[in-house]
Amino acid sequence: MYKAKSPVMQVDHKTFDEKILNSNHVSLVEFYAPWCGYCKKLKSIYEKTAKALDGLANVAAVNCDEDANKPLCSQMGVQGFPTLKIVVPSKTPGKPRIEDYNGARSTKLFVDAVTDKIPNHSKKLTDSTAEQWLQEDKDTPKVLVFTEKGSTPAMVRALAIDFKGQIKFGHIRDTEKALVRHYNIKKFPTVLLLPGGDQKPIYHTGELTKKAITEFLSQVASPNPIESPAAAAAAPEFKPAQVPVEVTPIATLATAEALESACLTSSSGTCILALLPASIEGDADQSDATKEALASLADVSHKYNLRQSKHFPYYAVPAINAGAKALQEGLGLSTEEAEIQIIALNGRRGWWRKYEVTGSSPYNVAAVEAWIDAIRLGEGSKEKLPEDILAAGAEDSHDEL
């Protein structure tokens, strides 16, 4: 959903700990799914937010529809889309504070919420306190920011994070007349660098942007990396795979009566049936292809459940089900097949369709989902359901519909 050139930082299960959990900066993280309508509506607002917070905070997104990211999303407590969280660095490296964002979704409110959380490592100085602060660590470079604002600007807080441990920051209100006079400040805001020792102050005369000020300060120190070195050393590697996503296996129709009731009546809608080979007596006997097919069907069902959208029922039909053999014979399918066979059928509309096996991994979840999506969209060819199929699945049944 977010392209490579998007201002939104795209992270996944491999980069989440480095870019977010161990970051020096506050992060706003969206957990989304590309098919989610609310996520699509949020996209332009979220990209504007990323531009507005550029250099001040991380604005990131995690695609929870990617199988590899699902454990991470589960670990983060994501239950719907989009889910927004603010990650705030703490005093303990690698263990940030994570908060849910439940407010209205607008660029202004996002920016306000995030900037309010940016830690403040800049000292508020007054005419009476500045001298003592300036005499501490005299050889350490210091920055004085003269401003008309009573609170520390977000940019100053972000810069103090970038140069934490290398440059000390102090901010001074325009009402502190003695300091304003002493440093000959003519306009606000003004950024003044004290290189340390007996070196003369240097006034920043360039643009008052984060990038320009960073370049100005880099003459005495290099900014810290985005990832906190202390956090990288202290934090254990984030292993989302330790929190597995529970995917419920598809239901089993063990009897002919259950098969008929679920899928083989003249009023039955579309069913997806996994016809198991006769050789299978338990999970241990399943071939890799059968296991992959059943897992893929379960994953597709799980995905639709997450979307809270209507979808077809999925059933496994074991060979010991008498109705399975009758169904296979009626459709002209082999009853001696050593591998699973997947079919879709619709009793009400009188059609059926077989999943065609192709490639080295024919039952991977992407292929199975594409086949099911084609059925949902009415694409692809269908076979006419033989007239006796519905009766064949209910030979001993006397229910009238």
pLDDT exceeding 70 applies to what percent of the chain?
Answer: 89
Asked whether the predicted pLDDT for residue 368 surpasses 60, the reply is yes
Q: What angle do CA 11, 36, 33 make, to 5 degrees?
A: 25
Let me know whether 64 and 77 are in one domain.
Answer: yes
* pLDDT score, position 367: 86
Alpha-carbon distances of 9 from 12, 39, 59, 64, rounded to whole Å: 10, 16, 6, 15
Co-location of 58 and 36 in the same domain: yes
Residue 210 has pLDDT above 80, yes or no: yes
- Give the bridge partners for 171, in sequence order: 124, 145
User: Would you say residue 127 lies in a domain?
Assistant: yes
Contact 202, 195 (CB under 8 A): yes
Q: Any bridge partners for residue 203, and if so which?
A: 192
CA geometry: angle at 329 spanning 324 and 335, to 5°? 65
State residue 215's pLDDT score: 94
Same domain, 114 and 126: no
203, containing H or E segment: strand 202-203
Element (H, E) at 84: strand 83-88
Considering the domain architecture, whether residues 281 and 383 belong to the same structural domain is answered as yes
Residue 46 lies in a domain: yes
Q: What is the pLDDT of residues 120-164, one digit of tens each?
A: 999 999 999 999 999 988 889 999 999 998 899 999 999 999 998
Average pLDDT over residues 199-223: 93
What pLDDT sits at residue 238? 45
**Beta strand 314-317 with 351-354: parallel, antiparallel or unpaired?**
unpaired
Domain boundary among 205, 223, 243: 205
Decide if 210 is inside a domain. no
Claim to verify: residue 127 and residue 168 sit in the same structural domain: yes
**pLDDT of 396 over the 50 cut:** no
Q: Output the pLDDT for position 14.
A: 94
DSSP letters for 176-200:
-HHHHHHTT--SSSEEEEE-STTPP
The per-residue pLDDT for range 24-67, each reduced to its tens digit, is: 899 999 999 999 999 999 999 999 999 999 999 999 999 999 99
* Assigned domain for 279 exists: yes
Neighbours of 354 (CB within 10 A): 17
**Structural domain includes residue 147:** yes
**CA of 363: how far to CAs of 118, 264, 312, in Å?**
48, 25, 18
Higher pLDDT, 307 or 48: 48
Domain boundary, last residue among 172, 205, 238: 205
**pLDDT(400) > 60:** no
Q: Do 88 and 173 sit in the same domain of this protein?
A: no
At 266, which amino acid appears? S
Helix (H, G, I), strand (E, B) or coil at 248: coil
Give pLDDT, residue 391.
57
The share of the chain scoring above pLDDT 90, in percent, equals 63
Residues 129 and 38 in one domain: no
Residue that is last in its domain, among 73, 91, 118 = 118
Kindly report, residue by residue over 323-361, the tens digit of the pLDDT.
999 999 999 998 777 789 999 999 988 999 999 887 777
Residue 376 and residue 336 share a domain: yes
Indicate if the pLDDT at residue 237 is higher than 60. no
Residue 339 is assigned to a structural domain of this protein: yes
- Domain harbouring 27, CATH code: 3.40.30.10
3-state secondary structure 332-399: CCCCCCCCCEEEEEECCCCEEEECCCCCCCCCCHHHHHHHHHHHHCCCCCCEECCCCHHHHCCCCCCC
Total domain count for the chain? 3
Distance of CA 89 to the CA centre of its chain: 19
Of 211-215, 244-248, 282-286, highest mean pLDDT? 211-215
Upstream peptide bond of 89 is cis (omega within 30 degrees of 0): no
Task: Check whether residue 71 and residue 147 sit in a common domain.
Answer: no
Helix extents (H) in 205-350: 210-217, 229-234, 256-263, 288-307, 322-331
Distance CA 29, CA 275 (A): 43
Q: Are residues 259 and 374 in the same domain?
A: yes
197, 99: one domain = no
Question: Are 342 and 354 a contacting pair, CB within 8 Å?
Answer: yes
220 domain-assigned: no
pLDDT confidence bin for 165, thresholds 50/70/90:
confident
Q: What is residue 31's three-state secondary structure?
A: strand
Q: Which domain holds residue 134?
A: 122-205
Do 272 and 352 have their domain in common? yes
Cα 127 to Cα 39, 140, 155, distances in angstroms: 50, 21, 23
| pLDDT > 70? residue 235 | no
Domain assignment present for residue 126? The answer is: yes
Distances, alpha carbon 35 to alpha carbons 45, 66, 194, in Å: 17, 12, 53
Beta bridge partners of 138: none
